[in-house]
Amino acid sequence: MSALSRSASARRAFWLLLAAGGAVVAVALGAAHYMEEHGHVVTGMNNQVVWGLPHVFAIFLIVAASGALNVASVGSVFGESAYKPLAPLSVLLTVALLAGGLMVLVLDLGRPERLVVAATHYNFRSIFAWNMILYNGLFAICALYLWSLLERRLGALSKPVGIAAFAWRVILTTGTGSIFGFLVARSAYASGLIAPLFIALSLAWGLAAFYLAQCGLARLAGQEAWDEALHARVRRLLAIFVIAALYFVAVHHMTNLYWARQGAFERFILVTGAPYPALFWIGFVGLGSVVPLALLFHPRLAGPRATAAAALLVSLGALAFLYVFIIGGQAWPLEIFPGYEAASSFRDGQVDGYAPSLPELLLGLGGVAASFVIALAGARVLPILAPPKVAIPAAGPAK
Amino acid sequence: MNPVDKRRREFFGQAAAIAGTLVAPGLMLYEYAQAKAPADPVSGKVRWGMLIDTTKCAPGCRDCVDACNRENGLPGSTRSTDSQWIRKVDLKDLRTGRAVSIPVLCQHCAEPPCVDVCPTGASFKREDGIVLVDRHTCIGCRYCMMACPYKARSFVHEPTTGQKPDVPRGKGCVESCTLCVHKVDRGGTPSCVEACAAAGHGAIVFGDLNDPQSEISRRVRAASTTQLRADLRTDNGVRYQGLPG
């Protein structure tokens, strides 16, 4: 029997949450239908800002999906046995987040009904096409990984499959970062640094998402979410990942500042181009990184509640970062005529505005809700949650 | 001249006239079609291109833009969500203050970034250098718009009206200048070029960059021309004269 169906109150709470998540998904599907019926004219997107709020949510979920596999990797690949009981949820969450992100990405297409075209026509020079293969491959590997973790007879498979999953997700996030990194003409992107930056971000965002999922599901099941020793390690790990992400973001901006031609863009995104500087400094750096670090490191705030608050702030900071990165990066005009001041009816040389519309927000939230529903339902039908009172050994590699 | 010779001459004369009457229209049509029947594949021996003489392009003149909109059934409005396949860009040299006005359209690159990034291959380059979007396989992901260095592509944000039979358009797909491929394949020239010439400006020359005898090749050889963002090495089919890089 699943831990989520042991008591009547747990069963009731499960169905209520499932219904609530399902309702948000249904609303998102309605919003996507509305966008498809009327065209993207009902969104805030235009011919300059071509990727809007749905992409912010989709990229967040896809990058976090890759990072959510961390916990399983630490157990299977790096032999830290303390993490092994948490591995099934880690893999399930990867599947759930990836599915939610892809749902948003597909429903934001101009022609979502042509998904079969995307599945049957591949341009192998396109990193986008490679990513479709990588995303589908991750689903397949995660399914096998989860099976090997839950089925005792396949236990021996869990290590090689875990190593394959780890390698696959590193390549996948490199691919996601390269979607932007390969855009040679855009000041905001066009950098090989974006691939490792995305990997660092995925570590932080994925672990934050995992922490929240573990806390939520354990609470629903009436279990203790964390063993104290393990909690201390996860807390430290999250802090290290947040610092690594900050480091890569700083290096990316410093690289841009070093190049004279990128100076104007950096001034726009970091100082003058409202609302992006506020979202970057207050949203991502302040509330999304510095405050979580304070919560994670402060000796008086060592409890799960402070860590959960830190994880939530890291996730919200992620959305702020991606809003600046994706939308701010497009709002800045292309430099088509270096050395000239340009003006045209197509807004050449101008910073273009973008105001997200309600359908876009609903679609993005629907992706989060879809991930939530998949994780919740998965935790109910599969023996995902670590049994209570499990003896978790202290830190150290597995024997 | 005996009567037999005379009749023979008359016979040959009449036969030649009849043959001429039968063959001449065919030859003229053949010329008109520039030797490419609809079923013939596009030849890689040709590379269509444009030379835009910025010294002849008047600020405020929109003849090329209006002709493009008429030919391709575009609404011609300029909201940020409207399609603009060709636009006039007013430029001011930041070093000298010199002002120019130039039309900017799809640059029909030899190495088009839009083709590289398109996941389904809907963005493609024909053998003759014309870059197009296959409306049947475009899924509307807009990655090509992110990748294009020239902001040459538009996304169809709402249902279309007033479509032309030769120029299919569709909501949810990306589109851009086709170099009036439907006219070029019948031996014609793009509408913007015709309109510019008809108005007496003659600022745009269209032709085969691979043919050393074509006007565009001679002009490109004779005068200094630039490609937009030449540093990206996309090798644009559209060249600008009188626009220092």
> Scanning the structure block, which residue is given the tokens 């030797």?
B35
Judged by CB atoms closer than 8 Å, whether chains meet at B122 and A121 is answered as yes
Which pair of structure tokens corresponds to residue B198?
């008809």
- Average pLDDT over every residue of A106-133: 94
Bridge partner residues of B241 (DSSP): B53, B225
Distance CA A63, CA A197 (A): 11
B83 touches chain A (CB under 8 A): yes
Question: What is the reported pLDDT for B26?
Answer: 52
Residues B80 and B123 occupy one common structural domain: yes
Residues B28 and B63 occupy one common structural domain: no
Which pair of structure tokens corresponds to residue A198?
């995305």
CA distance B47 to chain A (A): 23
Q: What is the pLDDT of residues A293-313, one digit of tens each?
A: 999 999 888 788 999 999 999
Is the pLDDT at B244 greater than 80? The verdict is no
Q: What is the pLDDT of residues B35-48, one digit of tens each?
A: 467 677 888 899 99
Question: What is the reported pLDDT for B43?
Answer: 86
In a domain, B127, yes or no: yes
In chain B, which residue's Cα lies nearest the Cα of A354?
A: B80
In a domain, A397, yes or no: no
Which pair of structure tokens corresponds to residue A131?
């990513």
**What residues make up the domain containing B107?**
48-241
Count, residues in chain A: 399
In a domain, A318, yes or no: yes
Residues B179 and B232 occupy one common structural domain: yes
Nearest to A132 by CA among A117, A142, A119: A119
Question: What is the reported pLDDT for B3?
Answer: 61
Which pair of structure tokens corresponds to residue B189?
């020239």
In a domain, B129, yes or no: yes
Assign residue A283 the CATH number of its domain. 1.20.1630.10
Assign residue B159 the CATH number of its domain. 3.30.70.20
In chain B, which residue's Cα lies nearest the Cα of A121?
A: B120
Please name the amino acid found at residue A204.
A
Bridge partner residues of B92 (DSSP): A341, B99
Q: What is the pLDDT of residues A216-250, one digit of tens each?
A: 999 998 888 788 888 999 999 999 999 999 999 99
Residues B196 and B77 occupy one common structural domain: yes
In a domain, B191, yes or no: yes
In a domain, B37, yes or no: no
Q: In sequence order, which residues have a C-beta less than 8 Å from that of residue B227 and are 6 or more positions away?
A: B107, B234, B235, B236, B238, B239, B240
B142 touches chain A (CB under 8 A): yes
Judged by CB atoms closer than 8 Å, whether chains meet at B104 and A348 is answered as yes
In chain B, which residue's Cα lies nearest the Cα of A334?
A: B149
Task: Provide the number of structural domains found in chain B.
Answer: 2
Q: What is the pTM of this model?
A: 0.91
In a domain, A273, yes or no: yes
Distance CA A287, CA A265 (A): 24
Question: What is the reported pLDDT for B131?
Answer: 98
Task: Provide the number of structural domains found in chain A.
Answer: 1
Residues B143 and B232 occupy one common structural domain: yes
Question: What is the reported pLDDT for B177?
Answer: 98
Averaged confidence pLDDT in chain B: 90
Between B191-198 and B63-72, two packed helices, what is the crossing angle to 10 degrees? 140
Q: β-strands B86-93, B48-53: how paired?
A: unpaired
Burial class from Cβ neighbours inside 10 Å (0-12, 13-18, 19+) for residue A12 reads: exposed
Which pair of structure tokens corresponds to residue A309?
């608050």
The proportion of chain A whose per-residue pLDDT surpasses 70, expressed as a percent, equals: 96
Question: What is the reported pLDDT for A226?
Answer: 82
In a domain, A293, yes or no: yes
Judged by CB atoms closer than 8 Å, whether chains meet at B91 and A127 is answered as no
Which pair of structure tokens corresponds to residue B97?
């203050």
Number of Cβ within 10 Å of residue B97's Cβ equals: 8
In chain A, which residue's Cα lies nearest the Cα of B102?
A: A344
Q: What is the pLDDT of residues B177-196, one digit of tens each?
A: 999 999 999 999 999 999 99
B133 touches chain A (CB under 8 A): no
Nearest to A117 by CA among B129, B120, B163: B120
Is the pLDDT at B12 greater than 50? The verdict is yes
Contact A324, A17 (CB under 8 A): no
Question: Interface pTM (ipTM) of the complex?
Answer: 0.92
Q: What's the pLDDT band for A83 if we cut at 50, 70, 90?
A: confident
Count, residues in chain B: 245
Q: What is the pLDDT of residues A20-33, one digit of tens each?
A: 999 999 999 999 99
Is the pLDDT at B33 greater than 60? The verdict is no
In a domain, B42, yes or no: no
Question: What is the reported pLDDT for A123?
Answer: 96
Residues B142 and B180 occupy one common structural domain: yes
In a domain, A352, yes or no: yes
Question: What is the reported pLDDT for B2?
Answer: 64
Distance CA A308, CA A92 (A): 20
Residues B114 and B217 occupy one common structural domain: yes
Nearest to A278 by CA among A323, A310, A315: A323
In a domain, B115, yes or no: yes
Q: What is the pLDDT of residues A340-385, one digit of tens each?
A: 999 999 999 999 999 999 999 999 999 999 999 999 999 999 988 8
In a domain, A396, yes or no: no
Q: In sequence order, which residues have a C-beta less than 8 Å from that of residue B131 and are 6 or more positions away?
A: B106, B108, B109, B112, B114, B115, B123, B124, B125, B176
Q: What's the pLDDT band for B11 if we cut at 50, 70, 90?
A: low
Distance CA A43, CA A34 (A): 10
Q: In sequence order, which residues have a C-beta less than 8 Å from that of residue A349 and are 6 or more positions away?
A: A333, A337, A341, A342, A343
In a domain, A388, yes or no: no
Contacts of B152 in chain A (CB under 8 A): none
Question: What is the reported pLDDT for A390?
Answer: 46
Residues B28 and B54 occupy one common structural domain: no
Judged by CB atoms closer than 8 Å, whether chains meet at B151 and A38 is answered as no
Distance CA B34, CA B43 (A): 12
Which pair of structure tokens corresponds to residue A114?
């042509």
Question: What is the reported pLDDT for B27?
Answer: 46
Three-state secondary-structure class, residue B92: strand
The proportion of chain A whose per-residue pLDDT surpasses 90, expressed as a percent, equals: 80
**What residues make up the domain containing A149?**
3-336+343-381
In a domain, A389, yes or no: no
Question: What is the reported pLDDT for B10?
Answer: 72
Residues B69 and B2 occupy one common structural domain: no
Contact A315, A327 (CB under 8 A): no
Distance CA B15, CA A147 (A): 88
